[in-house]
C-alpha cells in the first residue's frame, strides 16, 4: 500500500500535497520500483531522466573501476534522493552506479515532465531540488577533503569529527559497515581495522559494528 503521507515528508517532495503526488503517478510522471539487495538500479554509462527517492531501505552510490576496485561515494537512506543531477541532464551518462544496499522501494520522478507542468508543486520541487544539490555539493567537498589527507588515522578522525558535528553527539551511528567505510575512505579494510583497534587501545574511541563512541575530541 502506498503511504502518501510518508512520501510528502521526504526532502524533495516536502511542501507538495498528497494530491500532487497522486496526480504525478496518474500522469506517468512518477512510478514506484522495488529492488532486492545488491540489484543494480542505475549502471555507470546509462543515461537517466528520473530522480530517485528512497522510500524504504537504502541504496549505495559507487564507482567501480576496470580492475575490480570499488569506491563508495554515498549511502542514500529512506527519504534521500539519487541521480538528481543526471535527471536534469538526460544526455549525460552516469559516472557512477546505484545499487540496492538492502531490499528497497524507490519512487522515480520524471524531471522534465514534472517541470513542464508548472503550478505550485513545480516551484516547490525546483526549490527542494536546488537545496538537495547544494547539500550534495558540500558532501562531495567534504569527501574530497577526507581523501586528500595522507594517513588512515587522519581520514578516520576527519570523518568521525564531521559526523560528530552533524549528529551533535560523541555517540555516533554511521551508515557504513567496515568494508563500506574502507571503500568510502579509499583505504584497505585490514589497515582500517588495524588503525581503529589501535585508536581503541589508546582510549580515543570505542566501537561496535557501525556505532562509535568518541572519548576525546579528534
Cβ atoms of residues 147 and 186 within 8 Å: yes
Residue 168 has pLDDT above 70, yes or no: yes
> Which CB contacts under 8 angstroms, 24+ apart, belong to 177-181?
177/209, 177/210, 180/60, 180/72, 180/75
Residue 141 has pLDDT above 90, yes or no: no
Residue 216 has pLDDT above 80, yes or no: no
- Note the pLDDT tens digit of each residue in 23-73: 889 888 899 999 999 999 999 999 999 999 999 999 999 988 767 778 888
How confident is residue 2, by pLDDT bands cut at 50, 70 and 90? confident
Residue 173 has pLDDT above 80, yes or no: yes
* 102-119 CB burial, b ≥16 within 10 A, e <16: bebbbbbbbbeebeeeee
Average pLDDT over residues 154-180: 92
In the chain, the percentage of residues whose pLDDT exceeds 70 is: 96
Assessment of whether the complete model's pTM goes beyond 0.75: yes
Choose between 27 and 213: higher pLDDT. Answer: 213
Report the distance separating Cα 208 and Cα 168, nearest Å.
Answer: 19
- Note the pLDDT tens digit of each residue in 82-133: 999 898 888 899 999 999 999 999 999 998 877 776 556 888 888 898 899 8
| SS3 call for 194 | helix
CB-based contacts of 131, cutoff 8 Å, min separation 6: 11
Write down the pLDDT at residue 115: 73
Choose between 45 and 147: higher pLDDT. Answer: 45
Report the distance separating Cα 102 and Cα 17, nearest Å.
Answer: 28
Range with the lowest mean pLDDT among 96-100, 155-159, 164-168? Answer: 164-168
Amino acid at each position: 500500500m502506498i503511504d502518501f503521507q510518508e512520501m510528502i515528508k521526504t526532502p524533495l517532495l516536502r511542501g507538495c500535497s498528497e494530491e500532487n503526488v497522486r496526480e504525478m503517478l496518474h500522469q506517468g510522471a512518477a512510478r514506484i520500483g522495488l529492488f532486492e539487495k545488491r540489484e543494480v538500479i542505475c549502471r555507470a554509462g546509462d543515461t537517466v531522466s528520473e530522480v530517485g527517492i528512497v522510500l524504504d531501505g537504502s541504496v549505495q552510490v559507487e564507482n567501480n573501476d576496470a580492475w575490480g576496485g570499488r569506491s563508495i561515494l554515498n549511502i542514500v537512506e529512506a527519504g534521500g534522493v539519487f541521480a538528481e543531477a543526471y535527471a536534469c541532464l538526460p544526455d549525460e551518462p552516469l559516472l557512477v552506479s546505484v545499487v540496492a544496499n538492502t531490499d528497497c522501494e524507490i519512487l522515480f520522478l520524471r524531471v522534465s515532465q514534472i517541470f513542464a507542468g508548472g503550478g505550485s508543486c513545480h516551484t516547490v520541487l525546483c526549490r527542494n531540488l536546488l537545496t538537495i544539490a547544494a547539500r550534495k555539493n558540500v558532501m562531495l567537498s567534504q569527501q574530497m577533503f577526507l581523501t586528500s589527507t595522507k594517513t588512515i588515522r587522519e581520514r578516520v578522525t576527519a570523518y568521525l569529527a564531521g559526523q560528530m558535528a552533524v549528529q551533535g553527539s560523541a555517540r555516533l551511528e554511521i551508515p557504513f559497515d567496515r568494508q563500506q567505510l574502507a571503500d568510502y575512505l579509499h583505504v584497505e579494510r585490514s589497515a582500517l581495522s588495524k588503525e581503529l583497534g589501535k585508536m581503541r587501545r589508546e582510549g580515543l574511541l570505542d566501537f561496535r559494528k557501525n556505532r562509535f563512541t568518541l572519548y576525546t575530541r579528534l
